[in-house]
Structure 1
């Protein structure tokens, strides 16, 4: 009997707690030991989690994501190709020969393709190949640094400073400090800035993921290995860090920066981008990233909130002048979707911004008449790392309205003319009394 009483009391408590604490407040949060971190929906740029995301820290080799972006852009614009060859100047050779910056080991008086240099940079995080590519594209690393900062501003990044193409501290470069920078300078980025850069890299140049997701490859007769241990298929014990769907993006380490990592993963068509900065070890940067990825996939789900053809209440139609019909139905031209946190499905509404309050015939079916924007009405303000609102779609005319013929327009004008005379006469009579 006592057992049944206990069960009943427990059931009552569970029901009461579900009423007092809605699902959204019960949804599990995530904690990370990284100094700074961010998790982003790679499809929209929506921020799903952040911890001191605007804190500016040295990014170490995550800097190379900008070098990768500019190489991809130069290829797209036809300035170079994957098969373009270059030789190694004294500066990158000195970096390659320095055991403190161990990499692939470059040789002078030898032709290297852009493809091979890029793979060594993106897979093995090689510093010398980054400098060689910078020199090839801009003539010097100093000019390339200017391009890096200009591109960062163009992409909408904030809280950043690029002083070289590699992520090393300038004090490590000896007499090769890029022009326009000082020996005391170091690259700086916030987690939000790194995520913004990663967002544009994976969306503008998805081919970058084919390379960054490669566990091992051959370079100049040797096997080089990826520093991103979360990629499935890594050799040996590194496979223990594997995470299904990871295909990028860039690790980093310097004594000043600590261990950093910008990761990206895709499952069932949903891609996430994470950044962790200032972790204590190589292992921890992946452990903290795993926490963020799990949180994203377990606590968020992409949902279509308002479908294509949705009509907003009290704004189903627009008036039309000079048409065979005096109004036309309006609707969303595309669906509005978002990654929704558990329990927040009802926290979204929609608002219209119409070009005009009245249309003039003819009106074409599908003609854009305004925009519809997704509005979040929950407790925690939502953020996005991209300039444009990703949750805005066209509002369109649902059907066509033909222009009325000249006879009907004339009758309408005559009726309007006499109507105005009648109204004026009535107003004048009212004035007499």
Structure 2
């Protein structure tokens, strides 16, 4: 158990979350902006409602592929022979595709690049078959992984993000002919955050603006990245290097973006982005994304709120029993850094929570105690307007800084402990006599 020893005094509003206050007025059915490292939510709009995600689905396919490669179940130079269903879908140029030959053989690396850069749907389905044997089995893996990652509002029905109608009757078993993948903006951001945290190498590919598929062959196809905020493209934005766009009639114009400047990375999601006239468009999804990234980089700063070795005025020491000393000093193990909106630093107060399992019934640590023993943690309490939030409780807990003992406390020998016991006994007698004498007057 953990006990809060010191709690700051301050009024905490219980209205809509601070990050959710819609000061940006992002024109989309749902949107979210987070710090990529901590998952701290800096802005959100309708972020818990499941909506169509279209090809942003491919982030899950990317995750499962990179996981399979990491585990050694798949390799990038592994060869794939095109199945009938993949061939038929890949030939549909009304969809984003690189046409694959019915008798062709392709490397996982080629298919991966076509999926990440060009959002090629047939190539994505091919990778699903590489990993799971069939898209039907792959969809099961997608939903299992979604639960494992902590997604709450989601459903995957295919690997690509197409409407099942576009698969012309060849959709995965157990799904309907009109089904489409859905996720909330918050879950989409969480999937992106997990992908970048566990497989940051995906940015080496998602950040490629242009590439030629099968360059130097008769099958060569120019692939321009659908993420037009990348360098050299129409809506170029400094620092953008991923991750995934998505568009269907059901989902509208969607985009999960990430950008890094000076070591600070943010992730944004827009779902069914629209222009001022209420019409969806490519420009709308990039324009609304720019609005959030400008807000992130322009109005937030990573600050060292508490230094390493910080000691709270109200909790500098903890009491010790059976030790050569009767207390031990405590301090933070490392510095506490946080993304803070400009001008809001004074609205944070450190709160120390002690690990109650280390204390006896009198609230004391028991010697011997080693230097560096973790005795609790410090977190920052926000006392400003609204409340702060994180994508998950796990990410919120990761912002807590361990508090440790600064020195060792040896156990006192039997003689010292005996003398303390005797001293305590006579002290008790003296207190009793003094109280009695006092009662005479």
Shorter chain as denominator, the TM-score bin is 0.7 to 0.9
How far did residue 55 of structure 1 move? Answer: 2.7
In structure 1, how many angstroms separate the alpha carbons of the residues matched to 2:412 and 2:301? 48
Match of 1:11 in 2: none
Conservation of the 8 A alpha-carbon contact between 1:39 and 1:50: yes
CA 1:428–1:111 in 2, change beyond 3 Å: closer, same or farther? farther
In structure 2, how many angstroms separate the alpha carbons of the residues matched to 1:129 and 1:258? 22
Match of 1:18 in 2: none
CA 1:51–1:419 in 2, change beyond 3 Å: closer, same or farther? same
In structure 1, how many angstroms separate the alpha carbons of the residues matched to 2:419 and 2:111? 76
In structure 2, how many angstroms separate the alpha carbons of the residues matched to 1:421 and 1:217? 89
CA 1:89–1:425 in 2, change beyond 3 Å: closer, same or farther? farther
CA 1:28–1:160 in 2, change beyond 3 Å: closer, same or farther? closer
Match of 1:14 in 2: none
Match of 2:354 in 1: 354
Residue 365 of structure 1 aligns to a residue whose secondary structure is coil
Point out the structure with the larger helix share.
1
> Structure 2 residue aligned with 1:364, among 364, 370, 393?
370
Q: Which consecutive unaligned segments of at least 5 residues does structure 2 have?
A: 1-17, 274-279
Match of 2:25 in 1: 31
Match of 1:7 in 2: none
How far did residue 28 of structure 1 move? Answer: 11
How far did residue 102 of structure 1 move? Answer: 3.9
Higher relative contact order (CA 8 A, sep 6+): 2
In structure 1, how many angstroms separate the alpha carbons of the residues matched to 2:428 and 2:77? 76
Residue 63 of structure 1 aligns to a residue whose secondary structure is helix
Aligned residues: 401
Match of 1:42 in 2: 36
Residue 185 of structure 1 aligns to a residue whose secondary structure is coil
Match of 2:50 in 1: 56
Residue 142 of structure 1 aligns to a residue whose secondary structure is helix
Please tell me the root mean square deviation across aligned C-alpha atoms, in Å: 2.4
Conservation of the 8 A alpha-carbon contact between 1:28 and 1:299: no
> Structure 2 residue aligned with 1:147, among 133, 141, 159?
141
Conservation of the 8 A alpha-carbon contact between 1:86 and 1:113: yes
Residue by residue over 1:313-338, the C-alpha shift from the partner in whole angstroms, topping out at 9 and shown as x without a partner, is 22110011121111111111122222
Is the aligned partner of 1:194 residue 2:202? Answer: no
Is the aligned partner of 1:387 residue 2:393? Answer: yes
Match of 1:5 in 2: none
Residue by residue over 1:244-278, the C-alpha shift from the partner in whole angstroms, topping out at 9 and shown as x without a partner, is 11000001111221111100000011101011111
> Structure 2 residue aligned with 1:277, among 244, 259, 271?
271
Conservation of the 8 A alpha-carbon contact between 2:185 and 2:271: yes
Conservation of the 8 A alpha-carbon contact between 1:336 and 1:374: no
Residue 223 of structure 2 aligns to a residue whose secondary structure is strand
Is the aligned partner of 1:397 residue 2:405? Answer: yes
Residue 346 of structure 1 aligns to a residue whose secondary structure is helix
Match of 1:138 in 2: 132
Residue by residue over 1:308-361, the C-alpha shift from the partner in whole angstroms, topping out at 9 and shown as x without a partner, is 211122211001112111111111112222211122111111212211332111
| Structure-1-length-normalised TM-score | 0.87
Match of 2:309 in 1: 309
| Structure-2-length-normalised TM-score | 0.86
Match of 2:293 in 1: 293
Conservation of the 8 A alpha-carbon contact between 2:79 and 2:108: yes
User: Greater CA deviation, 53-62 or 420-429?
Assistant: 420-429
How far did residue 427 of structure 1 move? Answer: 9.9
Residue by residue over 1:182-203, the C-alpha shift from the partner in whole angstroms, topping out at 9 and shown as x without a partner, is 1131111121111111111111
